Amino acid sequence: MTVANATTTDLILPKPSSRGVGPRSFRVEPSRTTRTVILGIVGIFFLVPVFGMVEFALRVGQPVNGLQTYGFSHFVAVFDPVNSGTYSVLFQGIVNSLGICAITVAIVLALLLPTMIFVELKFPRLRRVLEFICIIPVTIPSIVLVVGFVPVYSVVAGIFGSYPWTMAFAVGIIVLPYAYRPIAANLAAVEVVILSEASRSLGAGWSSVLWRVILPNLRRGILASCFITVAVVLGEYTIASFLSQNTFQTALVLIQHTDPYVAVIFSLFALLFVFVLLILIGRLGSGGRRNRRSA
């Protein structure tokens, strides 16, 4: 694309004039000052609450004569065995959430991914239908779906028992739009049909086509969709609270009433954790683009 743009530029505007005054006056991009001002102001609005969290978490005791003392006592208290009873609900919630994460990722990998590949290879006409199904959870708010989940789960609880992990089925639905997009983008970029036909014509069976040709090509999309699934599941609150399950988010809300400091500390770490997770996705994506260009 860059090559194409360069040639059209050369055709329309001969080299000398492109360095002249004219082209500079219509540079579409904002000037450095404009950019700094906009990003600076918006950035401050977004950093203030983060600072608020850090300041809040570091407070020690009540202010004396208007002076607040700071320290890590609330951080230390989290791991103090004396408080293990108070915080056990939070740690149990985190364990439950991680379990739900694992099962939801499994649902994405074992149900969504094979169906997407299958539709791409065998039923390309159903692609729109599958996309529509995966977008529906955006249209129906989780708070509305929950009204329907409650009766469905009274049946599910009858079959599997009322364990936190059963929530993964419902969360898997909420995750569909997020999990679908990266894999779909990857599928669109890779010529799966041609690749599979090429490998079939070279004598590969369907299993080696899948494991040695298709899946390696979709690696990036699959990984991104797993990461975003983990992020969405860890942040899920609505379903858990209505199905009365203890997850990370419901535990945070619960503990916020008794110990707001710990709730803020864990929120801060969770936000940071997912931020890093998503930075990794970004790195994966850009790394991929660079590889494809050089290939």
Partner 1 sequence: MMTVAAQPAQATSGGVGTRSRRRSVVWVGLLPFAGYALVFLAIPAVLAVGSGFFDNAGQFTFANLKAFADPSILQQFFASIWIAALTALIGAIVGALVCFALLGTRSDGFLRTTVDSAASVLAQFGGVMLAFAFIATIGVNGFITKALIAAGWLDNPLTSFGNNGPLIYQVAGLSVVYLYFQVPLMVLTFMPAMEGLKTTWAEASATLGGNRFTYWTRIGMPILAPAFFGSLILLFANSFSSYATAAALISRPVITPLAIKQQLTSETVVGVANVAGVLALGMVVVMIVLMVAYAALQRRASRWQR
- Binding to partner 1 (CB under 8 A) within 158-217 occurs at 169-170, 172-173, 176, 178, 193-194, 197, 200-201
Binding range to partner 1, per CB under 8 A, among 82-90, 140-148, 181-189, 215-223: 140-148
Site for partner 1 in 6-25 (CB under 8 A): 8-9, 12-13, 22-23, 25
C-alpha distances in Å from residue 49, one per residue of 32, 43, 77, 116: 26, 11, 23, 40
Task: Tell me the two tokens of residue 24.
Answer: 């500079």
Closer to partner 1 by Cβ: residue 238 or 245:
238
> What is the nearest approach in angstroms of partner 1 to the Cβ of residue 81?
25
Q: Is residue 142 helix, strand or coil?
A: helix
**Which residues, including other chains, have CB under 8 Å from residue 267's CB and lie 6 or more apart?**
53, 252
b/e per residue 119-131 (b: at least 16 CB within 10 A): bbbeeeeeeeebb
Closer to partner 1 by Cβ: residue 16 or 81:
16
174 within 8 A of 228, measured Cβ to Cβ: no
Closer to partner 1 by Cβ: residue 52 or 205:
52
Site for partner 1 in 60-99 (CB under 8 A): 63, 66, 68
Q: Is 142 in the site for partner 1 (CB under 8 A)?
A: yes
Among 102, 185, 223, 274, binds partner 1 (CB under 8 A): 274
Among 78, 95, 126, 223, binds partner 1 (CB under 8 A): 126
**Which residues, including other chains, have CB under 8 Å from residue 217's CB and lie 6 or more apart?**
186, 190, 192, 195
Give residue for tokens 């208007």.
66
Among 185, 189, 204, 235, binds partner 1 (CB under 8 A): 235
Closer to partner 1 by Cβ: residue 82 or 293:
293
